Chains A and B, each alone.
Chain A
Amino acid sequence: MLSPGKSVSSRLLRPALWLPFRLCPERTAVSLMQKELIKKRELEKDELRPLYMDFQATTPMDPRVLDAMLPYQVNYYGNPHSRTHAYGWESETAMETARKQVASLIGADPREIIFTSGATESNNMAIKGVARFYQAKKRHVITTQTEHKCVLDSCRILEAEGFNVTYLPVQKNGLLDLKLLEATIRPETSLVSVMTINNEIGVKQPVKEIGQICRSKGVFLHTDAAQAVGKIPISVSDWKVDLMSISGHKIYGPKGVGALYVRRRPRVRLEPLQNGGGQERGLRSGTVPTPLAVGLGAACSVAQEEMEYDHQRVSMLANRLVQKIMTEIPDVVMNGDPEQRYPGCINLSFAYVEGESLLMALKDVALSSGSACTSASLEPSYVLRAIGADEDLAHSSIRFGIGRFTTEEEVDYTAEKCIQQVHRLREMSPLWEMVQEGIDLKSIKWTQH
């Protein structure tokens, strides 16, 4: 294997080079070739990458966050739970600093923050953990129909375990009806879960009022704040929130890390999903990934500084986009309440145009219809169905996401391209022709061939 007589360095390098090929020659060779081809094509044709307008799906990492993380990848690489040496101590210090940064963004105590692998894990922990811990006397959970899939799936699993789950409908503007919530809470309700800002339509729920209701009835409130943290001011004590999920990669932080806020006074108990050595208050055992935690902390502290400026800028850009599009094109519907929303998430339905075809027409802008987690399925978004959008309108909806790094030129370009393509697609659309002629589409009886 190793050729004798060669220098030490080449002997060490050679196995690393040929080993992957030996393991799987065909697959590795082909994918390497493909990558080379793509790179060549990009360089030759000077192809540009699409504009990124999908900030609800994920966000690029802020360079300041990357700067904070790098030393902990290669230099300060100790395990933060090692008690006996300096590598462990310095990692633990970094982890605790990050915890403090996350806590100060949401107005919590650092001891109330648990690092997880993301908002999905936090949601699972919160919902399944609380429900299972209190299941001796309380077997009812309330949530809404517009929650993220991880919340809805966790609730479905609880139903399979024998819990009662109520999925509350939302009003046409996407907001929860508080009277309905109050009427649904029973003595055996252990948890209410309502997300702060919806990832598809950008609607902001009245979490403060919901917290008031839940506290008065002695029910825990969990909110999935993945899209809200760092974008709007949050105070868990003002809002009377007992559990809150935080996601790293939605606030210009690293992917693969998140946090769960678990209130200590009055104490919320969870049955842990991940058992082990009792790290993170026994609720989430496992080594805390120091670089990722540091990144999350840095992202939170940057967000705290930039929140006001970002909010103003994003509002301005969002207004610009919406005004441009809605004045030029008729029959465009904005899904969700126009006032109670986060401006950076705009969901527009273009009537008589198919959403997928518009997305493909806007191929140099990265957009999405529905949310990233359901983009593979062919069904229209359940969130749009929950707010009562027509089936046709639900199919023709596009979500525009504006973030910290969006420029005015990007917004202008997107708006113009969108207007252009919608006109073009409508020219081709038979439904549009019929509407122009004055036919009421609802009166048509469609027959099968």
Chain B
Amino acid sequence: ACDQNRAMAAAAAARSSMGLTLRLSRVIPDCRSCPLYRFKGCLDNTAGSQRRGSFDNLRTINRHLQTSICLYQAEEGSSNAEDPDDVVNVVYIDRSGKRIPVKAKVGDNILYLAHKHGIDLEGACEASLACSTCHVYVNSAHFDKLPEPEEREDDMLDMAPMLQENSRLGCQIILTPDLDGIELTLPKVTRNFYVDGHVPKPH
């Protein structure tokens, strides 16, 4: 306990000596390792609220500071990619034909990326290769860059209605740098087609 106090005192001293810039900036906690976050027990852990709220005002004032400090690690699937090498531009074309450009990171899963941005790509089996509801059409320029589907994915794709040559399951597409600019069109219906316009919420 004594050591801890001494460390805190030292930190406080260091902080006060660094001047105004650090006092205005804040260390944003790395939530990835915290068990409360992982098991959704943390209040900050609702979709999207992680980095909004009070940080936003700070961001607008100290934008140049935030970018240079980089004290937090982005968690997987975050849309706040900061490192330009990691950014993958993805365009979703939803059922009404609207183009929704999205900035994603390398390693993102197409299905969860869509959920994060409120695009109604239904993933009934939560990416366990047991349904065909996350069926998307990939634009021809990027279709060949995707790895060959495994047999289980092909089996599930067979069941998808309105299949085309450029069809893939969204939950199996993991973004890589050479997929930058990929365009994913949602098909008009899924196997769970709802003729009354109902849109199921993501799990």
B164: chain A residues at CB < 8 Å are 133, 136
Among residues of A, the one whose C-beta sits closest to the C-beta of B154 is: A267
Assess the A134–B165 pair: CB atoms within 8 A.
yes
Assess the A269–B163 pair: CB atoms within 8 A.
yes
What is the CB-to-nearest-CB distance from B37 to chain A, in angstroms, rounded to a whole number?
Answer: 38
Q: How far is the CA of A133 from the CA of B161 in the complex (A)?
A: 12
Chain B CB within 10 Å — which of A133, A269, A282, A283 has the most? A282
Q: Restricting to B110-162, which residues have a CB under 8 Å from any CB of A?
A: 151, 154-155, 158-161
Q: Restricting to B157-200, which residues have a CB under 8 Å from any CB of A?
A: 158-161, 163-165, 191
A271: chain B residues at CB < 8 Å are 163
What is the CB-to-nearest-CB distance from B124 to chain A, in angstroms, rounded to a whole number?
Answer: 13
Q: Which range holds the interface residue count of chain B?
A: 10 to 19
Identify A133's interface contact among B151, B159, B163, CB under 8 A: B163
Q: Which range holds the interface residue count of chain A?
A: 10 to 19
What is the CB-to-nearest-CB distance from A282 to chain B, in angstroms, rounded to a whole number?
Answer: 4
Cβ of A281 under 8 Å from chain B: yes
B158: chain A residues at CB < 8 Å are 269, 281-283
Among residues of B, the one whose C-beta sits closest to the C-beta of A269 is: B163
Cβ of A323 under 8 Å from chain B: no
Assess the A264–B154 pair: CB atoms within 8 A.
yes
Q: Restricting to A275-299, which residues have a CB under 8 Å from any CB of B?
A: 275, 278, 281-283
Chain A CB within 10 Å — which of B154, B158, B159, B164 has the most? B158
A281: chain B residues at CB < 8 Å are 155, 158-159
Assess the A133–B165 pair: CB atoms within 8 A.
yes
B154: chain A residues at CB < 8 Å are 264, 267
A265: chain B residues at CB < 8 Å are 151
Identify B161's interface contact among A134, A136, A269, A275, CB under 8 A: A275
B155: chain A residues at CB < 8 Å are 111, 281
Q: Bits for A220-245, please: 1 = Cβ < 8 Å to B, else 0.
A: 00000000000000000000000000
Among residues of A, the one whose C-beta sits closest to the C-beta of B160 is: A282
Assuming the contacts A264-B154, A267-B154, asked whether A282 and B161 have C-beta atoms less than 8 A apart, the reply is yes
Identify A269's interface contact among B151, B165, B191, CB under 8 A: B165
Assuming the contacts A264-B154, A267-B154, asked whether A278 and B165 have C-beta atoms less than 8 A apart, the reply is no
What is the CB-to-nearest-CB distance from B186 to chain A, in angstroms, rounded to a whole number?
Answer: 18
What is the CB-to-nearest-CB distance from B97 to chain A, in angstroms, rounded to a whole number?
Answer: 19
Among residues of B, the one whose C-beta sits closest to the C-beta of A278 is: B159
Among residues of A, the one whose C-beta sits closest to the C-beta of B159 is: A282
Q: How far is the CA of A296 from the CA of B154 in the complex (A)?
A: 27
B165: chain A residues at CB < 8 Å are 133-134, 136-137, 269
Closest 8 CB pairs of A and B: A282-B159, A281-B158, A278-B159, A282-B158, A267-B154, A278-B191, A269-B163, A136-B165
A-B contact pairs, 8 of them (CB 8 A): A136-B165, A264-B151, A265-B151, A278-B191, A281-B155, A281-B158, A281-B159, A282-B161
> Known pairs A111-B155, A265-B151. 17 more at Cβ < 8 A?
A133-B163, A134-B165, A136-B164, A136-B165, A264-B151, A264-B154, A269-B158, A269-B163, A269-B165, A275-B161, A278-B159, A281-B155, A281-B158, A281-B159, A282-B158, A282-B161, A283-B158
